[in-house]
Homo-oligomer: A and B are copies of this chain.
Amino acid sequence: MIHRNLCTLACILWSALATHASEPLPSWNDSSSRRAILSFVAKVTDKSGGSFVPPAQRIAVFDNDGTLWPENPIPFQMSFTIEEIKRQLPQHPEWKSDKDIQAALSGDFPPLLRDHFRGLLHIISVAGSGMTTDEFAASVRRWFASAKHPRFNKAYDGLAYQPMQELLAYLRANGFKNYIVSGGGLDFMRAFSERVYGVVPEQVVGSHTAVVYELRDSGPVLVKTMNRLFVDDGAAKPEAIHQFIGRRPIAAFGNSDGDKEMLEYTTIGNPLPSLGLLIHHTDKEREYAYDAKPQSSGKLITALAEAPQRGWVVTDMKKDWRLIFSE
């Protein structure tokens, strides 16, 4: 084992030197946000300092919608799901009496986003139910290949925030294990997280329903169901972090009140140094501007109000980000 540890150490030193060569986080303006991130990472990776955190404990958790990519005009998975519902509609006359499906089809979105997106998660599980996980993943990939965001007129997976892409890479280069902990669907996110964010499937935590194992003539499959819905938002985020990861994170990144408990769990009374950061959507010109209002799928009210007393960094997208999307 010794040679392996030496080798790992050499890798870390090598990365540290390489990181020095090019400035990290180039799409972040020189702001208190950027400085807070750099100083936190410097602190936890400095072996000679008193705040060193061993790599195995460097767990960072990221919300997805509104944190790593936009959540407007509606969450991207909602656009995908509405397409799926339209496609499958002829086979499902019973959907006529499902009021969430009818709301989605008529464009009446606010009721679906209330109460931790329960209506949205319901239509997501209805639309996926009965498919194998492979069929579902293929369907997500097809959608990404054809659908375009209505405002930016780009493929949805081309809309990852460039500064957050740099942050993911910077943390990874500094020995962090990045997890996505999102209200979005587990199977939906895993169909693109590695390709788009460099986050492997086993580091994605999300909303989900039970799958059922079947050994078919073609081989083993897992069939999606509507049972045991778990909505990974609010207090459910630290609950899911415990179940899926089993360690307390040392860094948490979110943008809405649904991320408040995840930031609390990461930063309050953590025996290790920790960082909580909220992305504040303030840029109407380049992206969107919202917190308490106007209407948006994510709200940022309580978490924003508590940020100063909790020591959470608030990133102002308009001021702190030189770029929003890659050019």
A56 close to chain B: CB less than 8 A: yes
Give the contacts of A204-250 with B (CB-CB under 8 A).
204, 208, 210-213, 215, 218-220, 222, 228, 235-236, 238-239, 242-247
User: How many Å lie between the Cα of A270 and that of B10 in the bound state?
Assistant: 36
A14 close to chain B: CB less than 8 A: yes
Nearest CB in chain B to that of A134: its residue: B248
Q: How extensive is the interface on chain A, given as a class? A: 35 or more
A58 close to chain B: CB less than 8 A: no
User: How many Å lie between the Cα of A247 and that of B215 in the bound state?
Assistant: 17
A11-B4, A246-B202, A247-B201 known; A238-B220 Cβ under 8 A: yes
Q: How far is the CB of A238 from chain B (nearest CB, A)?
A: 5
User: How many Å lie between the Cα of A243 and that of B10 in the bound state?
Assistant: 35
A202-B244, A243-B211, A246-B202 known; A220-B11 Cβ under 8 A: no
1/0 per residue, CB under 8 A from B, across A1-36: the answer is 101100110110011001000000000000000000
Nearest CB in chain B to that of A236: its residue: B213
1/0 per residue, CB under 8 A from B, across A178-216: the answer is 000000001000100000000011101000101111010
Q: How far is the CB of A172 from chain B (nearest CB, A)?
A: 9
Q: Enumerate chain B residues within 8 angstroms of A215, measured Cβ to Cβ.
A: 261, 264, 268
A211-B242, A213-B238, A246-B201 known; A14-B7 Cβ under 8 A: yes
Nearest CB in chain B to that of A198: its residue: B1
Q: Tell me whether A202 and B239 are in contact (CB under 8 A).
A: no
Q: Tell me whether A4 and B200 are in contact (CB under 8 A).
A: no
User: How many Å lie between the Cα of A218 and that of B204 in the bound state?
Assistant: 29
User: How many Å lie between the Cα of A11 and that of B1 in the bound state?
Assistant: 12
User: How many Å lie between the Cα of A218 and that of B264 in the bound state?
Assistant: 12
Q: Tell me whether B190 and A213 are in contact (CB under 8 A).
A: no
A133 close to chain B: CB less than 8 A: yes
Q: Tell me whether A242 and B220 are in contact (CB under 8 A).
A: no
Q: Enumerate chain B residues within 8 angstroms of A218, measured Cβ to Cβ.
A: 269
Q: Enumerate chain B residues within 8 angstroms of A161, measured Cβ to Cβ.
A: none
Query: B3, B169, B200: which contacts A18 (Cβ < 8 A)?
Result: B3
A131 close to chain B: CB less than 8 A: no
Query: B7, B239, B245, B246: which contacts A213 (Cβ < 8 A)?
Result: B239
Q: Enumerate chain B residues within 8 angstroms of A156, measured Cβ to Cβ.
A: none
User: How many Å lie between the Cα of A212 and that of B265 in the bound state?
Assistant: 12
Q: Tell me whether B220 and A239 are in contact (CB under 8 A).
A: no
Q: Enumerate chain B residues within 8 angstroms of A74, measured Cβ to Cβ.
A: none
Q: Tell me whether B202 and A245 are in contact (CB under 8 A).
A: yes
A272 close to chain B: CB less than 8 A: no
A8-B11, A265-B213 known; A239-B219 Cβ under 8 A: no
**Given A11-B11, A208-B243, list of 10 further CB < 8 A pairs?**
A8-B11, A133-B242, A201-B245, A201-B246, A202-B247, A204-B246, A211-B239, A213-B239, A218-B269, A244-B244
A-B contacts, 12 listed (Cβ < 8 Å): A4-B11, A4-B173, A11-B11, A186-B246, A201-B247, A211-B239, A213-B235, A213-B265, A215-B264, A219-B269, A220-B261, A222-B239
